[in-house]
Amino acid sequence: MVANSIKVVPYDPLWNELFKTQAECIQQILGSNCITIHHIGSTSIPDLAAKPIIDMLPIVRDISTVDEAAMEELGFNAKGEYGILFRRFFQKQGFNVHIFQEDNAAIEGHLKFRDWMRTHAEDKDAYQKLKQDLALQYPNDILNYSIGKDAFVADILAKTQFKGLRIVNALMPREWEAAKYFRQHYFFDKIPVVDPYTWTFEDKKHLHFILYQGAQIIGYAHIQLWPSQRAALRIIVLDESYRNHGLGGKFLKDCERWLKQHNIVSLHMESSPEAHAFYLKYGYMEMPFNDPDYPKQFSQDIDMGKIL
């Protein structure tokens, strides 16, 4: 078999036994921090053809105390968050391990998808055919294989009525399209100019976060990492239909939490007068922006910041 090739094979009852054996080892590594470990993904769904890779979801009390070195001693490669905020992802031959803290809504999403597929044969058959077709179309391209499944997975999550909030780094085409839409519609159309900063999509100093509620993209944030453990909140925005329910504040606080976990000391922005009260509500104060890259562009904007 070609290295990294994608092969969808018939369901194997042994997959569940492999999960149980590996789960016992991981439970010992994580110790009392581990609440439980779930078998998720296609190999957890009886009679569904799948790539022979066991996806495991350990739930922990404190994600910050997960011992990566101990997992590596068990043969896993630590991959960090791997695009999904507040996750710890590990891989070894035949296994993916997605560790989440107990309060993370992504847990519910994984379990709802699994349970739906276990009990809805028509959707299971459609998913199987889709994966088999994608494996033939993209035998050595895991990104396009995953992109090909994205719309189907979103549709199933919508059927489950999953409404949890989760944040990812933009990766899938529909996430980048959403980022472009939020930027142009809510900011650059008002000037009006065509967004001149799409080049930041390719710059590692610029983070582009997508906020989901269930399967629906409802928000976007653009954060720039600066020297001296500072960061700039260039854009944060919710779809208009989701505003005034506290979701914007939660999105902002989760961005702050993520930055703090990555040793960012302060977060800064140039607030429009209309957004000033919002930032004051969440603990921001007037503070020099000191942009190392650009001079101030709009004189009416208010320099604000917060020590995280």
Total domains in the chain come to 2
Residues 93 and 77 in one domain: yes
Residue 275 belongs to some domain of the structure:
yes
Give the tokens for residue 119.
């009990």
Q: Residues 138-173: pLDDT tens digits?
A: 999 999 999 999 999 999 999 999 999 999 999 999
Name the band, by pLDDT with cuts 50, 70 and 90, for residue 2.
very low
pLDDT for 294? 81
Give the tokens for residue 39.
């078998």
pLDDT for 4? 63
Beta bridge partners of 291: none
Tell me the three-class secondary structure of 44-92, residue by residue. HCCCCCECCCEEEEEEECCHHHCCHHHHHHCCCEECCCCCECCEEEEEE
pLDDT for 296? 74
Residues 180 and 253 in one domain: yes
Residues 138 and 180 in one domain: no
Beta strands in 249-298 (DSSP E): 266-271, 285-286
Which of 145, 160, 175 is the last residue in one of the domains?
160
Domain extent at residue 145: 14-160
pLDDT for 3? 44
Name the band, by pLDDT with cuts 50, 70 and 90, for residue 297.
confident
Task: State the angle between helix axes of 121-137 and 106-119 in degrees (0 to 180), rounded to the nearest 10.
Answer: 110
Average pLDDT in the chain: 96
The CATH number linked to 116 is 3.30.460.10
Residues 143 and 214 in one domain: no
Residues 176 and 135 in one domain: no
Q: Residues 88-119: pLDDT tens digits?
A: 999 999 999 999 999 999 999 999 999 999 99
pTM: 0.94
Q: Residues 12-70: pLDDT tens digits?
A: 999 999 999 999 999 999 999 999 999 999 999 999 999 999 999 999 999 999 999 99
Residues 138 and 269 in one domain: no
Q: Residues 216-264: pLDDT tens digits?
A: 999 999 999 999 999 999 999 999 999 999 999 999 999 999 999 999 9
